Structure 1
Amino acid sequence: MAFDPPLLGGVLLRRYKRFFADVRLDDGRELTLHCPNTGSMLNCGEPGSRIWGSVQPRPGRKLPGTWELVETAPGVLACIHSARANKVIEAGLQAGLITPLADYPQWRREVRLPGSNSRFDFLLSGAGECVVEVKSVTLAVGEGVGAFPDAVSLRGQKHLSELVEVLASGRRACLLFCVMHSGIERVRPADEIDPVYGQLLREAVQAGVEVVAWSVIPGPEGLRVAGALPVEL
């Protein structure tokens, strides 16, 4: 998945009010870019970090561009644009690259099931149906380990309970960690940040919810679906 328009490099000056990032581009311009991430961005928002963003001013847009990537260590990149996770996973489904879910020829996005107040990221259909909820992982905690969430996530806890309900309806249920960080080699729940989420995740797995992690390698040119990563519970 190529970035369009191409990204420009720079340095992060500060992130504030969650959605604003002051940056200095390599050409010397200082701009405020949109920060498309509602999480804490733990270990991904240090001032002075090398960043890449798109700059595309247009009428009616408040900010001139969007922050996309950050270098968290020398040569290690993370994509902080959390909405990219669903788009790159959809591209992976189309190409048959997400092998545990490759047997479903059809899918719909943002589906609300009967009796549910929430929308699920994907409903796959074919020989049966599978509900898929995607979570973006960018928190690296050392030694190749990634953790989710990076802040207490009541929404994430709710999604786990709803995936268990999906199983009761006779559908397959899958939680997919989309790991958009080139330094992460395996994933675990961030019990030190949200112990309730970790507990609910393990209970969901015991109930039959499938949990998979898929590596997406970010680079200034684009995002590349790489392959499965182990999930440690």
Structure 2
Amino acid sequence: MKSLPAFAFAYRGVLVSLCPLSCALPPWSGLAPRVEIAAAALLLCLGLGLRLAGVREIGGRARVHSAGARDLVSSGIFATTRNPLYLGNALAAAGATFLLAGPLAAAATGLYLGLLYALVVRHEERVLLSLWGAAYRDYLERVPRWIPRLGGSDFSGRSREPYSWSEVLRLEKWGVLAVACALVVSFAFPDTLAALRQRAELRTAIGALSILVFVVLFVRRASRSKRKHGLIFHAE
């Protein structure tokens, strides 16, 4: 049976799909619509920027189903924070729920993902320590887990050149497109967005849809895991 951190790592993509549940929270309208949109846009852009910077260092390895690493990456954004991808995901998700349902939803999303990624990182760090030993322990001691350290440096040097920005955008094109469209629509129709937030039935529908998506993704992920283990046992 998987430990809780190992389960959180294996199912992290599935568990993230529950973030829209926070949209069921009542909206808070203490700010002008354009101010709320600007705050949400800041979260979205910060989150996307962190993720793109992380992908520039590790490329397609940003999406994996098993913990581990072919080489220890400590350059670029990884010299300032050990988990730019997870931090970026959390900020972007908080920004998205801010747009949909306001600051209470954003705070709930940030708290949920903070707890989820804390478990995920515990599993990853344990695996990487077993793989890289003293080199990774030195990295843990010198680079913060979450809050980026200003003036970070490549203390271990680069093992390879970073990916080109064109390759990064190819890998992350759907996320970039989604953020761009969300911001354009939000700034173009701020009052309409504010009015939609007040509709409880719409917020409830978003939450219900997220549960449905979660169930579908969970079943697919569990089935894939079962087939994988079945093949391993058959080979043995």
Q: Does TM, normalized by the shorter one, top 0.5?
A: no
The structure carrying a bigger strand percent of its residues is: 1
For the pair shown, which has the larger CA radius of gyration, 1 or 2? 2
Query: TM-score by structure 2 length?
Result: 0.28
Query: TM-score by structure 1 length?
Result: 0.28
